[in-house]
Chain A
Amino acid sequence: MAGIECTPVRAGASSVPCGHAIGSEKWRGTELARLLQGKIKLVFEDGLGLVDFHLSNRTCILYISESDLVSGNAFRRRLVRFRKACNLNGIVIAEKTRLSDQYYPPVQNFVVLELGMALLPVTNQNEAAQLIFNLVQERSREGNSNPFMRKKCFQLPDASLLQTVQKIPGVGKVKALQLLQHFPSIHKLSNASVAQLETVVGRTIALSIHSFFTQ
């Protein structure tokens, strides 16, 4: 499998405790590290490979600086190697400044559309610190507190069913109720013959309902 150089994850680095992050040794002493240290518990480690920061919950950060963006495609190879080497959620943070602005759109196409990773722009390390702090907070929140998470709704469909049946031309609320009392599902109602429908509604409506379902 991938050699040590290609392994972006140091063993155990993916299970970071809440409110903590593991930073690559190369970030020690930087503005970003200084700003983060006041807010979260940041531990430095050697040999994180391609990753700059490990957050909790299988998420890690790959950082692209302004000069990375401007100076060419080396960072692209790094991201591709990361994608191939592991299935961690990689969030790419890129310094989108006045200088690197013009390089952003193709990078976004590459990172988000081609690699399927998340890409978030910041203008400097100060903003990056604020963003990483929020990402750490988000990862350590209780499971149900994310308002954008897909939630299961356990609504009984009876009311919707009544609405759906009223979409049949010529059927209002009263007829919809009568129909559903005799043919209690869409499956049964759509398979009812004209003769069966006639026991509930008049012949004209029965014909029109039948043709609505079979046409």
Chain B
Amino acid sequence: AGIRTLCILADSREISSGPEVISYLKMSLGVKVEVCSLGGCDYIVSSRLAVERKSQSEFANSANRSKLVDRIQHLQHLFDRVCLIIEKDRIKQGETSRTFQRTRYYDSTLSALISAGVQVLFSSSQEETAGLLKELGLLEQRKNTGIDVPTEVKGHKQEVMQFYLSIPNISYITALNLCQRFDSIRQMANSSVQVISARAHVSAQKAEELYRYVHYMFEAEMVA
């Protein structure tokens, strides 16, 4: 243990919004970064942990409230653990640093996040964010929840991935675990809650949710 390279999944949109985060992770920190379309999630650091990255100004702007709520709620449904990194805005050349005005909205949002069990981290730059992502990944590795499946999906497996991703509340990493750790969809569908939980690296509760979906009896009247 410990020798395995750390692997982190990054959403393709992060290439434009956080290019330095990804390059620091790859170049300076030696982390394997797989860029994929994660659909509503910035980084996946382990089988159960999603990390959302927000600039301080974006986070502090109350006009973004409903967007933030939707996003975090979405992540809470998909992952056992959710972490939010609030990153200081980059100061462009020639711009003097603006003093950040702390508002009531800012404090009440932080309070609500903490009380909902969301982990909140503060970063002063994209470089520091990369360091935090690595630390989070190492911690998850020590808890044996790190990403240790092949992240590349080829041929027939791509279609299988799309099938798993269409299941409600299944994250990209869970779909990947299902895809790589079961020989076939049939094998997964015939598995018990315990086996699904162990192979897909999900909580018993999540595994049971999936089991119920697989065994749910369709009624055409419900979609008419």
User: What residues make up the interface of A, taking CB atoms closer than 8 Å to B?
Assistant: 91, 96, 101, 104-105, 108-109, 112-113, 118, 120-121, 123, 127, 130-131, 133-135, 137-139, 146-151, 153, 155-164, 166-169, 177, 180-181, 184-187, 190-191, 212-215
Contact = CB atoms under 8 A, between A and B. Distances in A.
Contacts of B113: 148
15 contacts: A105-B131, A127-B102, A134-B104, A134-B110, A138-B114, A138-B115, A148-B113, A162-B223, A164-B163, A186-B216, A187-B215, A212-B156, A212-B163, A214-B184, A215-B184
B64 interface: no
B111 A134 contact: yes
The interface residues of chain A, by DSSP majority, are classed as: helix
Contacts of B136: 113
A106 B6 CA distance: 21
Nearest to A183: B218
Interface string B14-43: 000000000000000000000000000000
A21 B80 CA distance: 31
A144 to B, nearest CB: 12
Nearest to B166: A164
Q: Across chains A and B, which 10 residue pairs bring their CB atoms closest together, nearest first?
A: A148-B116, A158-B222, A138-B111, A134-B107, A180-B218, A167-B163, A190-B189, A184-B218, A164-B166, A190-B186
Interface of B: 69, 72-73, 76-77, 102, 104, 107-108, 110-122, 124, 128, 131, 135-136, 139, 156, 159-160, 162-163, 166-168, 184-186, 189-190, 213-220, 222-223
Contacts, number: 147
Contacts of B117: 150
Given A130-B102, A185-B217, A186-B214, A148 B222 contact: no
Contacts of A151: 73
Nearest to A158: B222
Contact of A146 (B115, B122, B159, B215): B115
